[in-house]
Amino acid sequence: MAILARANRRHFLRHPLQLLLAIIGVALGVAMVVSIDLAAESTHRAFSLSMEALTGRYTHHITGGPSGLPESLFTRLRVEEGLRETAPAIEGYVTVKDGSTLRLAGFDPFSERNLRSRFVKAARGDDAVRLLTEPDTVMLSAVTAQRLGIHPNDLLAITVNGQAHQLKVVAYVEGDEAPDPALEGLVLADIATAQEFLGRIGVLDRIDLILGNNPDQDRQIRSQLPPGIELESVAGRNSATQNMTAAFELNLRAMSLLALLVGTFLIYNTMAFSVLQRRELLATLRIIGATRGQLLREILIEAALLGLFGGVLGLAFGVLAAKGLLHMVTRTINDLYFVLTVTEFMPDPLILLRGLALGVAAAVIAALGPALEAAWASPLASKARSGLENRARRGVPWLAVGGILSMLIAFVLLQTESAGLVPAIAGVFLLLLGYGLLTPLMLLGFAWSTVVLARLSNAWLLRLAVRGVAASVSRAGLAIAALTIAVAVSVGVGTMIESFRGTIAEWLDQILQADIYIAAPSTAARYSPPLPNGLPEQLGRIDGVDKTGTGRRIIISTSLGESELLALDPPYLNQPGFRFKQADGKVVWSTFPTMKAVFVSEPYAQRHHLKVGDNFELVTDSGPITLPVAGIFFDYRSDQGLIVMHRSLYDRLWKDGANTSVGLYLKAGADLEKIRQAVGLILSSQQQPLVVRSNREIRAASLETFERTFAITQVLRLLAVGVAFVGILSALMAFQYERRRELAVLRATGLTPAQAGWLVLVQTGFMGLTAGLLSIPLGLAVAVALVRVINLRSFGWTMDLAVSLPPLFAAIALAVFAALLAGLYPAYQVMRVEPSAALREE
């Protein structure tokens, strides 16, 4: 069908701007989806590769409580239980001079050499012997060595728990083999060396085992383990760790999907516009004998090509963007979840292919409506013309009914608490869609009242302009709906972030009751090194310090999986240290020191479906114990949640004298700076460097982490608005194109070019204002959905909705401004065009 295809394809070459807009639309949509996919995939792969490298062929771990495992257990298992395929492991985090965090892993070359499970190259030969015989020696991953500019026999300066050390790098972990990206960030030492540097002599973190798939054997081993020590499968542990980021990723994906939807809208616009422009051409083709099927196919092929071009461009953008995004995503994961270094970025062909297919599919689906319109239009031009708008106008009430239905479904999805996160996200999409469907009706109502007002005030240009908008409700409605949705999403997300920030600030004020906090610098999320013994007592004796409170944070095993436990010893009971969900927070708090129960944070309760009074099992040093939940408190430090118990209960259950942090409560009128100096003096005599921060400083640092976490969201939000803007530009161009004959008639009857230009600007300004006003209720609804449902179901965080007026006004201004900006080019065209030329064209 060469000539037929050419007749249609060349149309696009004659309208390059339009073509470009459509391609950009697809490209941006595809780019966002692909970049988020790639970034997520890269972090997943980095995670599983490094896990694989660290666990090798091992199938199970034996892990202990906060104090780890006694080394003797390893010997006992090997000798007495005859478990030959075992190896000891200890791990910690160290920082190096460029600020990055490395994983220091202690291993036993003998065990590994025999098992040939992991670090095969490192466990063999003379280098392994040097690790054992020379002090302070390590092996470094070749990739990391390259990054840090370190060669064998160089010294590596590290900081562990705030203390500086020099280590001698004797070889690469890979030996003389090719650098393995999966080993990025790995420092390998002999067990004894690692224990020494991590300050945990005689202790192991894990014993790794290779076990067959034999539940009886598992049970047998479990029964031999002392209380508080657990056997778990490697796969289960890894997937639990990785699952931590699931909700975070899902939210990112939802954002990218939104961008693709906006891109689809852009293609719809372009295709609808191009069909409109080609109406005569298509009619002629039909008269000559082209069938409906042929025209349908032509237009769908066009769309597919558009999708393909845009898609390929989008892949290129996407890969570029993914590199930036990867950095942001990894940083967030490191801030919030676990330590992960991602250096290898390899675009997965499957993701690229999927992105491309998504682009093409979106383009074809978007073009389906216009294509059907083109094929089914009567070749008799006189019939086609007014029919479209009439049909559109008759469709407006039906669209509204559909919109209301869609919003009702959205409401149900968002209200049903048992529904998960995915239905909730679908609910938000349905809410946006439903409101969009309702927009044309609201536009007509708004236009009608404006016309009435304009008639009263005799503003004929305004009346003419608004009538024109109402007359082509199919185009105008679409453009306004798109702008409304884009601005509303921006308002909604903005309000959500605002609310979140406010909630966090308030929460920080509540929990940071002490004036000064002392803790060891943490090298990784979810890992808190212990303080030196006796430090709290020493600090409590400083003049001006009224009381001290201590905290101990550890990771424990429970019947609900691995959990973070915080043991607190608050000096005051008159003011609750948390805001409890239930009303009698003060009463609950007053029983804290004596209660044989725990508090859990809201995300923890949400995640594990716990209510006050529910019981669950904790693995303690003295064996498993079942404890009830005495209260649920609001907490935002981790979306994994937190268990809190009183220090006295903790001490009864665990043999762990250590503390993680100390809070100093000053006497009224005490001089903060003086006391800080005194604290500094005491700390300087300690082996281990510690960090002293006032509650203000912690608050500021926490808020900074918060802003960092939402950096991605902000970027995606901007991008979505950008894509929407391109969509509006093309919709407005279609709108004005359709009105060009009417404008030519007006010009011929005496409208000056300037007036014609104004007419266009008044029209687009009116459309922008309509969109701006309509976006406010929707934006607030989206904010409520995000705050009350999406965030709650994603992370388990309840927040207070904070709505402030200035951003709402800014949103209206943004909509008007975007519309006016998009109207400039059409206005210019209208002013330039000869009315006779437009009239002659039939």
Ligand X SMILES: Nc1ncnc2c1ncn2[C@@H]1O[C@H](COP(=O)(O)OP(=O)(O)OP(=O)(O)O)[C@@H](O)[C@H]1O
288 binds, among ligand X, another protein, none (CB under 5 to 8 A by kind): another protein
CB closer to another protein, 8 vs 161: 8
The answer to whether the beta carbons of residues 89 and 59 sit under 8 Å apart is no
Q: How far is the CB of 735 from ligand X (least distance, A)?
A: 24
Interface with another protein (CB under 8 A), residue from 70, 162, 179, 379: 379
* 8-state DSSP, 379: S
CB closer to ligand X, 9 vs 383: 383
Alpha helices by DSSP H, listed for 161-291, are 191-197, 215-224, 234-243, 246-277, 279-288
CB closer to another protein, 210 vs 281: 281
535 binds, among ligand X, another protein, none (CB under 5 to 8 A by kind): none
CB closer to another protein, 509 vs 834: 834
CB closer to ligand X, 376 vs 828: 376
Distance (Å) of CA 370 to CA 270, 373, 602:
9, 5, 49
Query: Cα separation of 191 and 202, whole Å?
Result: 9
The answer to whether the beta carbons of residues 639 and 337 sit under 8 Å apart is no
Binding residues for another protein, rule CB under 8 A, total 26
The answer to whether the beta carbons of residues 599 and 632 sit under 8 Å apart is yes
Q: How far is the CB of 244 from another protein (least distance, A)?
A: 57
The answer to whether the beta carbons of residues 521 and 689 sit under 8 Å apart is yes
User: From residue 328 to residue 367, what is the string marking binding to ligand X with x (rule CB under 6 A)?
Assistant: ----------------------------------------
601 binds, among another protein, ligand X, none (CB under 5 to 8 A by kind): none
Q: Within 779-808, which residues bind another protein (CB under 8 A)? A: none
The answer to whether the beta carbons of residues 645 and 567 sit under 8 Å apart is yes
Q: Which residues contact 603 (CB under 8 A, 6 or more apart)?
A: 635, 638, 639, 640, 641, 642, 795, 796, 797
297 binds, among ligand X, another protein, none (CB under 5 to 8 A by kind): none
The answer to whether the beta carbons of residues 202 and 71 sit under 8 Å apart is yes
What residue type is assigned to position 535 of the chain?
Answer: L
Assess 290 for contact with another protein (CB under 8 A).
Answer: yes
The 3-state DSSP class for residue 717 equals helix
Q: Which stretch binds another protein (CB under 8 A): 97-105, 279-287, 424-432, 553-561?
A: 279-287
Q: How far is the CB of 266 from another protein (least distance, A)?
A: 23
806 binds, among ligand X, another protein, none (CB under 5 to 8 A by kind): none
User: From residue 494 to residue 533, what is the string marking binding to another protein with x (rule CB under 8 A)?
Assistant: ----------------------------------------
224 binds, among ligand X, another protein, none (CB under 5 to 8 A by kind): none
Q: How far is the CB of 386 from ligand X (least distance, A)?
A: 9
Alpha helices by DSSP H, listed for 278-341, are 279-288, 292-336
Q: Which residues contact 74 (CB under 8 A, 6 or more apart)?
A: 86, 88, 204, 207
The 3-state DSSP class for residue 189 equals strand
Which residue bears the tokens 């649920």? 632
Interface with another protein (CB under 8 A), residue from 292, 297, 354, 741: 292
The secondary structure of 621-650 as a DSSP string is TTEEEEEEEEEEE---S-TT--EEEEHHHH
Assess 7 for contact with another protein (CB under 8 A).
Answer: yes
**Structure tokens, 698:** 């912690």
Assess 289 for contact with another protein (CB under 8 A).
Answer: yes
User: What are the residues facing 204 on neighbouring strands?
Assistant: 69
CB closer to another protein, 9 vs 652: 9
Assess 285 for contact with another protein (CB under 8 A).
Answer: yes
Overall size of the chain counted in residues = 842
Q: Which stretch binds another protein (CB under 8 A): 239-247, 325-333, 375-383, 531-539?
A: 375-383
452 binds, among ligand X, another protein, none (CB under 5 to 8 A by kind): none
14 binds, among another protein, ligand X, none (CB under 5 to 8 A by kind): another protein
CA triple 241-260-13, angle to 5 deg: 145
CB closer to another protein, 379 vs 532: 379
Query: Cα separation of 787 and 793, whole Å?
Result: 10
Q: Which residues contact 421 (CB under 8 A, 6 or more apart)?
A: 247, 250, 790, 793, 794
Q: How far is the CB of 385 from ligand X (least distance, A)?
A: 9
The answer to whether the beta carbons of residues 567 and 647 sit under 8 Å apart is yes
Assess 574 for contact with ligand X (CB under 6 A).
Answer: no
CB closer to another protein, 286 vs 793: 286
681 binds, among ligand X, another protein, none (CB under 5 to 8 A by kind): none
Alpha helices by DSSP H, listed for 81-124, are 109-115, 120-123
CB closer to ligand X, 373 vs 564: 373
User: From residue 370 to residue 389, what is the string marking binding to ligand X with x (rule CB under 6 A)?
Assistant: ------------xx------
Q: Which stretch binds another protein (CB under 8 A): 31-39, 187-195, 287-295, 470-478?
A: 287-295
The secondary structure of 583-603 as a DSSP string is TTHHHHHHTGGG-SSEEEEHH
CB closer to another protein, 12 vs 710: 12
User: What are the residues facing 87 on neighbouring strands?
Assistant: 208
Q: How far is the CB of 279 from ligand X (least distance, A)?
A: 14
Q: Within 9-38, which residues bind another protein (CB under 8 A)? A: 10-11, 14
Assess 391 for contact with ligand X (CB under 6 A).
Answer: no
Query: Cα separation of 798 and 133, whole Å?
Result: 55
Q: How far is the CB of 393 from ligand X (least distance, A)?
A: 17
Q: How far is the CB of 310 from another protein (least distance, A)?
A: 22
Report the greatest alpha carbon distance in the chain: 105
Residue closest to ligand X when measured from CB atoms: 383
Assess 842 for contact with another protein (CB under 8 A).
Answer: yes
CA triple 463-467-472, angle to 5 deg: 160
Interface with another protein (CB under 8 A), residue from 3, 456, 583, 805: 3
Site residues (CB under 8 A) for another protein? 1-4, 6-8, 10-11, 14, 280-281, 284-293, 378-380, 842
Q: Which residues bind to ligand X, rule: CB under 6 A?
A: 382-383
